[in-house]
Structure 1
């Protein structure tokens, strides 16, 4: 509004000067009548952006009156702005109608002039003039409108790409946090569970001799040092960049799981292990997943179970199979305490390498954890991953 009012006033002033200079068709009508259509077309300039349809209506009324009393050059020039504003700011359908209508009017005006004058030169002159007055403003508005719409579409596309990039970033952060939480849980829980159980036993038993207490404390110290060493290794791994982060020396291997079994034995549990098939080199992701699943299964058996614990590692043609069985302590048979982070982590690790995972009670008194991890690229696709949802729901209230 602040810009259109001065523009309309300026247009009226220029049109008045043109009328005063004689730029109109002299038909013997009073000169002051020429200011009426000029005022109407200038009124359309005032509302050109806020009400383009009204702008067009005022312009049509003004130019029609001007055609009877003039016409005047000023009203014609301002009417071109009325057409331009209606085509640019009005509905898209109106723009198409205006383009077709003005084209037909321009051709019709040229043909009529040529017929009445019986001269093709009159047709050409009138046709060009009508085209300049009617068609050119609309074509200009169509071009600018297309540019404006294209720019708006580009902005919307850029905003969408930015939103998708932000969603990808958040998903990557969530995945990294989940992986870090899983690694921390698997590393720390095993050592701290052994420390808690051994220290509790040492504190609750008053009949232990000095040598037995010393052995327990040595085991506690060994688990503490091992836990700290793994924590330092993980921190160092997180600080590395690029290919250095894939260092083979820092990756736990399923074939190096003997210390896991030994720590459980030192905590007072009877662990029986057996290996079926010929041990072989496994893909790094499968090797790490198998090690962590075995580590968490032994930790859960240590916290919630009783001796004996049976561990089986089977190397088959296309997969490696892990199975850990233990007897539940009497106070755990009604349901296992905990938030279920261990079961969730094991299930996630198996799914990430396209494997299968099951965990649940066996015969009411035992607990079994089993996992089958593919060792070929075809079978290791995550799309083949599945989990026992029934067992998950059964144990969701008391996962280990």
Structure 2
């Protein structure tokens, strides 16, 4: 506000100096009367930003009065600022209209002056002067306004790009956290479930002989060591320790499925595995997804199911099928509680490689609860470039696995 007041005062002082120097057309009126139009135009300078249209209105009043009392150079110069402010700070549409009006006035004013003076030279001179006074300020304001609007648009665009980049970063972090949680759950749950079930059995049974207890403790130690080994592998991967060849060598593979079945058998369930088709090398992502799905399905069978457990791996031309079926008994209260993350993780793994997943009760298997004889988990994972349709599958139901 202070700068605006100082600007208006400076414009008024400049106009007074020009009037004192007789920079006006003398029409026999008192000198102070010539200063009245200057006051109107300088008042327009005071409101040039807050009310640009009012500034132009005051300027028009001042320039019209100045034309009657004797045109003065100071008033004309300040009026150019009124035009400039109206075009720069006023509505964009009005600024374009103002350019057309000033251009028309410049042409008409020059033509009238030339017609009155009957001299085409006067027409040219007056036309140029009118253009300098009327058109030039508006044109300058429009150019500056365009640059200002373009800068504002670029600033908004930069903010939007930064916002999108932040959203992408947050999405990447969330996806990585989800992947890490899925990996840690799949690695630890299998070993810890076996440890918990075997140790519970050893503590609850008082009739176990020394040799049986020793076998149970050996199995507990084996699961602990393997769990720690897989945890170290995960930590090394997160820290980028070792080269890619070493990571590839330690990556779990579906070809190691027999080891998972043997681990469940040692934990106390009768489990068997059947392989259909010719086993072959699978894409890394599919291989890992199949292994983890099988691992989690066997862990759920260990926690919530009963013997027997049937595992089927079917190698088809364009996909591999993983199926785990176990019986359901009436001793679910003695089993370990589940948080439901296992089924979610298995479904996510299948969908990530373009496959389908289903889990729920089935009619096959040994007897148990009325109407529910078994539980089946099945996943179809594509092994070729053409991905399978994503199946919705039942991922809830029954027990909180």
Tell me the TM-score normalised to structure 2 length: 0.95
Name 1:369's counterpart in structure 2.
377
- Aligned equivalents of 2:67, 2:284: Cα separation in 1: 88
- Aligned equivalents of 1:224, 1:156: Cα separation in 2: 56
Cα distance, 1:241 vs structure 2: 7.3
- Aligned equivalents of 1:242, 1:21: Cα separation in 2: 88
- Aligned equivalents of 1:245, 1:18: Cα separation in 2: 87
Of the structure 1 ranges 226-235 and 238-247, higher mean CA displacement relative to structure 2 is found in: 238-247
**Gap regions ≥5 residues in structure 2:** 364-371
- Aligned equivalents of 2:193, 2:173: Cα separation in 1: 29
- Aligned equivalents of 1:274, 1:347: Cα separation in 2: 23
Q: How does 1:254-273 map to 2 (within 5 A)?
A: 254-273=254-273
Cα distance, 1:393 vs structure 2: 5.1
- Aligned equivalents of 2:158, 2:271: Cα separation in 1: 60
Cα distance, 1:244 vs structure 2: 3.1
- 1:14 matched to 2:14? The reply is yes
Name 2:342's counterpart in structure 1.
342
Name 2:79's counterpart in structure 1.
79
Cα distance, 1:331 vs structure 2: 4.5
- Aligned equivalents of 1:242, 1:134: Cα separation in 2: 75
The 3-state SS of whatever aligns with 2:385 is: coil
Question: In 2 relative to 1, CA 85–203 (structure 1 residues): closer, same or farther, beyond 3 Å?
Answer: same
Of the structure 1 ranges 184-193 and 257-266, higher mean CA displacement relative to structure 2 is found in: 257-266
Q: How does 1:216-295 map to 2 (within 5 A)?
A: 216-240=216-240, 244=244, 247-295=247-295
Name 2:158's counterpart in structure 1.
158
Question: In 2 relative to 1, CA 151–91 (structure 1 residues): closer, same or farther, beyond 3 Å?
Answer: same
- Aligned equivalents of 2:213, 2:34: Cα separation in 1: 116
- Aligned equivalents of 1:310, 1:192: Cα separation in 2: 22
Deviations 1:48-81 (A, max 9, x none): 1111111111101111111100110000000000
The 3-state SS of whatever aligns with 1:208 is: coil
The 3-state SS of whatever aligns with 1:3 is: helix
Deviations 1:28-56 (A, max 9, x none): 11111111110110011111111111111
Aligned length: 392
Q: 1:352 touches 1:385 (CA, 8 Å); kept in 2?
A: no
Q: How does 1:1-400 map to 2 (within 5 A)?
A: 1-240=1-240, 244=244, 247-332=247-332, 338-363=338-363, 364-379=372-387, 384-388=389-393, 391-392=394-395, 394=397, 398-400=399-401
Q: 1:342 touches 1:399 (CA, 8 Å); kept in 2?
A: no
Cα distance, 1:164 vs structure 2: 0.5
**Gap regions ≥5 residues in structure 1:** none
Question: In 2 relative to 1, CA 182–269 (structure 1 residues): closer, same or farther, beyond 3 Å?
Answer: same
Deviations 1:278-334 (A, max 9, x none): 00000111000000000000000000000000000000111000110001121549x
Q: 2:303 touches 2:336 (CA, 8 Å); kept in 1?
A: no
Question: In 2 relative to 1, CA 242–106 (structure 1 residues): closer, same or farther, beyond 3 Å?
Answer: farther
Cα distance, 1:392 vs structure 2: 2.8
Cα distance, 1:245 vs structure 2: 8.5
The 3-state SS of whatever aligns with 1:196 is: helix
Question: In 2 relative to 1, CA 246–106 (structure 1 residues): closer, same or farther, beyond 3 Å?
Answer: farther
Deviations 1:324-382 (A, max 9, x none): 0001121549x9953210000000000000001000011312100000101001226xx
- Aligned equivalents of 1:337, 1:212: Cα separation in 2: 26
Cα distance, 1:247 vs structure 2: 2.9
Question: In 2 relative to 1, CA 44–242 (structure 1 residues): closer, same or farther, beyond 3 Å?
Answer: farther
Cα distance, 1:116 vs structure 2: 1.0
- Aligned equivalents of 1:245, 1:176: Cα separation in 2: 22
- Aligned equivalents of 2:84, 2:214: Cα separation in 1: 96
The 3-state SS of whatever aligns with 2:2 is: coil
Name 2:367's counterpart in structure 1.
none
Deviations 1:241-297 (A, max 9, x none): 797388311211000122211111111110011000000000111000000000000
Q: 2:347 touches 2:395 (CA, 8 Å); kept in 1?
A: no
- Aligned equivalents of 2:360, 2:150: Cα separation in 1: 59
- Aligned equivalents of 2:346, 2:219: Cα separation in 1: 26
Tell me the TM-score normalised to structure 1 length: 0.95
- Aligned equivalents of 1:317, 1:49: Cα separation in 2: 75
